Chain A
Amino acid sequence: MDESKLNEILAVFGERLEKSSAISDVESLKVDFLGKKGHVTSLFKEMGKVAAADRPAFGEKINKVKEKVESGIKELEKNLSEKALNEKINSSYCDVTLAGKFHAAGRRHPISSVIAEIVETFGRLGFSVSEGPDIETDYINFDALNMFDWHPARDMQDSFYAGANAVLRTHTSGVQIRTMLKSEPPIKIVAPGRVYRLDEVDASHSPVFHQVEGLLVDKNTNFAAFKGIITSFCREFFGADRKVVFRPSYFPFTEPSAEVDVECINCLGRGCGVCKNSGFLEVMGAGMVHPNVLRNGNIDPEIYRGFAFGMGVERIAMLRYAVRDIRDFYVNDLRFLSQF
């Protein structure tokens, strides 16, 4: 037994390796060289013929041959499987520019989204949601809010009636009274809801629309705090750099009353069609709660003060999304809704 035999085996293996191109060749190489009757295996069988003293050195040589064969096969196997994978990958097809498979996307209604956003913003200030019925008594909707029967302000809010004393609420302000009657100060609530006005329907008037009302009642609140909180909300909601202006106005249930104007979100105050060139948009009515209203809510105005605010959700959504016709919110055209 000499080394030439070993070299011969390696040479033959080398040739076979060259010619191998399929994964099936790997198996036959394993059988022919490492199998029970394989060339390398048979070398071990010949160990007995080698003089005892030479066996360790010879054994080492055979092991080296075996290692070479094994690593050669492993290498081959790796190369071939890589090649096969590459071929498979390269022959596959996908047009990544073709539209994605259908994902059944739905949407919140924009009005519901705007309400959620307002509620969330006030929620962070600790305001919780309070609700009231759509159909109210005259007392809750008007009288308790300092709007007596003869009050000229009642003319501004022509109302639908379901009974002599069952009015479709003209604003969410009645929730102020209901909340005060059932809870103790400090009170911090927002009240989103549907309201109804007997208006002719046009691009800016809908007989059904939504408001979010807010109320804070506490011992220590005051006009400056009212301004601070409302300004924070407006900046957070309409943009951090927006100017916020408080303009004296009138609501029977607040005194002093204010309209809150925010720098126009369309032109950033330069003046445009949206803000009628004023640079500002009226976004909410607000004010310090009138002492009579606190009294009607069983709260002593000598001890507590409060402020309240209310905003029209459709108006804010129209400004924000450049919706020109309020009726679009109630047509429910899926092509409209899908844009939100």
Chain B
Amino acid sequence: MKILLSSLKQFVDLSGMDPLKIAADITMGGLKVDAVEYLGKGLESVVSGKIVKIEKHPDAEKLTVCTLDTASEKLTIVCGAKNMAEGDIVPVAKIGAKLPCGLEIKPAELRGVKSHGMLCSEKELGLAKESSGLMILDKTTPPGTPFAEAAGLDDWLLDIDVTAQRGDAMSVLGVARDLCALYSKELKMPAYKLVEDASKKTSDAVKIEIADKKLCPRYMARVIENLKIAPSPAWLSKIIESIGLRTVNNVVDITNYISYMYGHPSHAFDYDKLCSPAVISVRTAKPGEKMEAIDNKEYELSPEMLLICDNSAPRAIAGVMGGKYSEVNENTSKILIEVAVFNPVTVRKTSRKLSLSSESSQRFTRGVDICDGEYIIDAIASLICEVSPGAICYGGILDNGEKEPSLKEIAIEIDKLNEFCGHKSSEAEFTAILKRLNFKIKTEGAGKLLLTAPSYRHDIFDSCDIYEEFLRIYGYNNIAGVEISLPYSKPVESTFGAVAKITDFFANSGFYQCMNYSFIGKEDIKKEKFDSFDEKYLVKILNPLGAEFSIMRPSMLSGLLKTMQYNINQKAETVKIFEIGNIYRLAEIKQQPEKHTPVVACGGIDHKIIETQCVAGLVCGALEQGYWNARKDALDFYYLKGVVEALFASFKTPVEFRPLNNKNNMHPKKTAALYLENGECAGYIGVLHPAAAANYDMDLSKEVIVFEIDTQILVANLNKPFKVREISKFPQSVYDLAVMISKDVTYSAIEKACRKAGGKNLKSVAAFDEYIGDKIASDKKSVAVTLTFQSDEGTLSDVETKKSFEAVIAEIKLSLAGELRS
């Protein structure tokens, strides 16, 4: 909301005060001033000057030499314009002026004639985009007047961000009231003199019918005739334009001006367009009713919307916008002025439903004063009569409805206030401030008060609202913060600790953490080649920003793949990334869900939303990069598996990798599912299916390796208790074993066979080589493992370990058909 300092000064004496200080004080009182702007910026060294003489330039046909009288001095200025005459008053930019157009005025010599300034056009003064010739000022302007003052620009514009609850502050008056409370100053209400024609009665000219007083508690009207609709006078159009509105005509501008000044919107109807006899009916819309509004759009009205109608049709959407048909235009000569109070919720619902917000609806939704009606309607009528001389105002106000608000008394105890604030204030301090805010105060005994808010405040319900009123005027910053020791509180369970550990693990392992939007598009799902994502279990956004952001991600992959593609396009040689976040799916509700569970109806069945926190990662490209002797071999499945194994090890969580060959978007030969000891599947790891990778510009020679793991198990195992294993004091015997075995036998089967036959002293089994190639049969592989034997009780003899080793060889032969390789 924009207001002029000059308007504020009509309500409160601010003479001699720094506008920036005023703005800062308004802010600290709770109405945030976003910007303060001096309207005459750049015009400080421009004054009015009288042209006393115009002579031809001795040496240039197109130039003249003017002598200017600026009261304090006479200046010779060379000028190129033609539209001025001796005796004209013009703006003179003196030496040193820095004009809004960017021009800096310096002493100059034009073809041998010295020039001491510049005569200005409107464009040069920043008042118009284009202008021809000099700006000629009013003849009555005394020479030497600062131009900003002469042009009405010696003023400040304050842009205030009024918070949603402060309907009372949506006007100059509202801001002035806050200033009066802050500065302990008296509010001056401008007086308007209205001359009525007693021979004509408003009550004869119009009738009002209100269908529901809850929707329209008060409706007032006046009638004015013999009007001349014309452009607004300069003072009015200047204000209207300064505050960012468009000037329309003298009548409409007055209604907007009063709304700006007092926060109470009003509307003027062309009286002659209303059905005769004029009966204003305030009612809700009938089914199928439509109305063209003054924005030239036709609106379909629904039954919860409140309308202002005559006998035939809606003429305005109450509190939102007037109708085109009865709009005041240049042919209007008689008007009906409406000043009403409408239900804020109705106006808000209507405005939302029609996607139609106006200066008026913004004020009504926050609530207007029910008690100011007479003052407002008389102010409007008197100003209209002033800007349209000859206008005749009918006698009397037609006033229908409530005149008094129903106000609640709120009990306040000074002791409780002080306890709440943690600060000692006296009853006198408190009552002084609340009186300045126009609260009515009744004393109920020592330190006990009953307060009633003024009628324009719609945000005072509870003692805490009054505490805030006191504090904002007393000054939040006049209450000293204290450092208190806080009581112990039981920690709440969360995933945060485990997530922090996972995050640090990957960051320290050379992975970059990514953050992608939680929503993706249908195209992304196609690109990823998701399997098992039954369309009906996807969580869809009903009002997305676009199709590409319309589905809550059912997997983390899409974001990681897009990130990969982006970075490879930016010439990254290695991409090692991870992301931790939620994935979403719907699940049919089988039992009564817990309270406060969001429910989504889908295909006639209620579903709940399952949010699963996941950590997902992706690697592709060179093992190393950015180094002069980097290893350029490609990152592969085993690399990423090693990282994931280390993650589980750091959470002391055993995990088994089982081949997984039926996941649509994954390589059938290079993917594993992760299984926990309890048989639960915790996620998967593998090479992205080359067909899916191709959708992200990856050629077939490059592998993209990904994993996705439910963090739940890691969260449960954070700080898992454990005891250290004692380290054996006895020597270990190490045996290497190379077996030729069918390619289909997994290493995990070999390891299991070793452990089964190796006995209790077999401490570890570790592969150190695998060979597949020309030197052996194509259906075979050679696997080399190291077996380590060690006892905690004594030194093992060669005979013992040899026996165990041979038992392992026999087991591999028997159960896996593996041959010892010579």
Question: Which A residues lie at the B interface, using CB under 8 A?
Answer: 98-102, 104-109, 111-112, 116, 119, 125-126, 128-131, 133-137, 139-140, 150-153, 155-156, 160-168, 178-179, 181-189, 192, 194, 196, 198, 200-201, 207-208, 216, 218, 220-232, 245-250, 252, 255-259, 276, 288, 290-291, 305, 329-335, 337-338
User: In the bound complex, what is the Cα–Cα distance between A168 and B627 (angstroms)?
Assistant: 44
Q: How far is the CA of A165 from the CA of B30 in the complex (A)?
A: 34
Contact present for B512 and A338 (CB under 8 Å):
yes
Instruction: Select A333's contact among B500, B542, B567, beta carbons within 8 Å.
Output: B567
Is B468 an interface residue, CB under 8 A from the partner? yes
Q: Say whether A128 contacts B512, CB under 8 Å.
A: no
The main secondary structure of chain A at its interface with chain B is mixed
- In addition to A129-B492, A224-B479, 18 A-B residue pairs with Cβ atoms within 8 Å of each other are A106-B576, A109-B512, A116-B500, A129-B497, A135-B584, A137-B597, A162-B609, A167-B598, A179-B492, A207-B517, A207-B519, A218-B486, A223-B467, A230-B481, A256-B471, A290-B464, A335-B570, A337-B513
Q: Are B484 and A112 in contact (CB under 8 A)?
A: no
C-alpha gap A248/B27 in the complex (Å)? 8
Which 6 residue pairs spanning A and B have beta carbons closest together? Answer: A224-B422, A104-B510, A227-B481, A248-B30, A163-B600, A222-B422
**Does A109 contact B598, Cβ atoms closer than 8 Å?**
no
> A-B pairs with CB below 8 Å: how many?
275
The one of B419, B517, B519, B627 that contacts A222, using a Cβ cutoff of 8 Å = B419
Q: Smallest Cβ distance from B252 to chain A, in angstroms?
A: 26
Point out the residue from B488, B512, B552, B629 that lies within 8 Å of A106, measured CB to CB.
Answer: B512
Write out the residue numbers on chain B whose beta carbons fall within 8 Å of the beta carbon of A220. Answer: 484, 487
With A104-B510, A106-B508, A338-B512: A126-B366 Cβ-Cβ less than 8 Å? no
Selected contact of A102 from candidates B348, B600, B627, CB within 8 Å: B627
**Can you list 30 residue pairs at the A/B interface with Cβ under 8 Å?**
A100-B627, A104-B509, A108-B513, A112-B503, A129-B496, A129-B497, A160-B543, A161-B541, A161-B542, A162-B541, A163-B598, A163-B599, A181-B596, A186-B486, A189-B492, A198-B545, A222-B420, A222-B421, A224-B421, A225-B482, A225-B484, A227-B482, A229-B483, A247-B30, A248-B471, A248-B476, A252-B165, A291-B464, A332-B516, A334-B570
Q: A188-B489, A291-B464 are in contact. Are A150 and B576 (CB under 8 A)?
A: no
Given contacts A135-B598, A330-B517, whether A224 and B462 have CB atoms under 8 Å apart is no
Nearest chain A CB to B250's CB is how many angstroms away?
A: 32
**In contact, B552 and A102 (Cβ under 8 angstroms):** no
Bound-state Cα–Cα, A288 to B625, Å: 53
A200 and B549 CA atoms in complex are apart in Å by 13
A224 to B481, Cβ gap below 8 A?
A: yes
Those of B395-427 within 8 Å (CB) of chain A? 419-423
Q: A201-B545, A223-B471, A248-B468 are in contact. Are A192 and B600 (CB under 8 A)?
A: no
A104–B625 CA distance with the chains assembled, in angstroms: 9
Chain B's interface size range is 35 or more
Chain A residues in 8 Å Cβ range of B352: 155
Complex contacts, B510 vs chain A, CB 8 Å: 104-106
Chain B residue with the shortest CB-CB distance to A163: B600
Contact A106 B164 (CB under 8 A): no
B627 adjacent to A99 (CB under 8 Å) = yes
Identify B601's interface contact among A104, A128, A163, CB under 8 A.
A163
Say yes or no: A255 contacts B462, CB within 8 Å: yes
Residues of B within 8 A of A201 (CB): 545
Cβ of B495 under 8 Å from chain A: yes
Known: A131-B495, A250-B166, A291-B462. A107 touches B32 (CB 8 A): no
Inter-subunit contact A106/B509 (CB<8 Å)? yes
Interface residues of B in 459-503 (CB under 8 A from A): 462, 464-465, 467-468, 471-472, 476-477, 479-484, 486-492, 494-497, 500, 503
Q: Are the CB atoms of B566 and A332 closer together than 8 Å?
A: yes
Q: Is the CB of A166 within 8 A of B600?
A: yes
Q: CA of A116 to CA of B580 in the docked complex: distance in angstroms?
A: 14
CB-contacts of B503-537 with A (<8 A): 503-504, 506-519
Q: Which residues of B contact A218 (CB under 8 A)?
A: 486-487
Q: Is the CB of A168 within 8 A of B541?
A: yes
Interface status of B349 (Cβ within 8 A of chain A): yes
Complex alpha-carbon distance, A186 and B483, angstroms? 17
Query: B662 within 8 Å of A by Cβ?
Result: no
Give the docked Cα–Cα distance between A306 and B540 (Å).
37
Chain A residues with CB under 8 A of B600: 162-163, 166
Q: Provide the bound-state CA to CA distance between A189 and B510, in Å.
A: 32
Check if B506 sits within 8 Å of A106, measured CB to CB: yes
- In angstroms, Cα B462 to Cα A156, docked, is 24
CB–CB B514/A99 < 8 A: no
Cα-based distance from A165 to B365 in the complex (angstroms): 24
A5 to B625: give the CA distance in the assembly, Å. 73
Query: Are B628 and A99 interface neighbours, CB within 8 A?
Result: yes
A162 close to B542 (CB less than 8 A): yes
Chain B residues within an 8 Å CB radius of A247 = 27-28, 30, 32, 476
Measured in the bound complex, the distance between the Cα atoms of B507 and A128 in whole Å is 24
B265 within 8 A of A: no
A249 and chain B: residue at smallest CB distance: B163
Q: Are A137 and B543 in contact (CB under 8 A)?
A: no
CA distance A223 to B484 in the complex (A): 12
A248 touches B472 (CB 8 A): yes
Residue of B nearest to A150 (CB): B345
Q: How far is the CB of B272 from chain A (nearest CB, A)?
A: 37
Closest beta carbon of chain A to B521's beta carbon, Å = 13
Is the Cβ of A258 less than 8 Å from the Cβ of B482? no
Assembled-state Cα–Cα distance A153/B366 (Å): 10
Report Cα–Cα, A247/B31, bound state, in Å. 9
Closest residue of B by beta carbon distance from A245 = B477
Does A248 contact B29, Cβ atoms closer than 8 Å?
yes
Interface string of B746-758 (1 = CB under 8 A from A): 0000000000000
Pair B472/A130 contact, Cβ less than 8 Å:
no
Q: Which B residues from 121 to 156 make CB contacts under 8 A with A?
A: none
Instruction: With both chains docked as a complex, state the minimum distance between the C-beta of A98 and any C-beta of chain B, in angstroms.
Output: 7
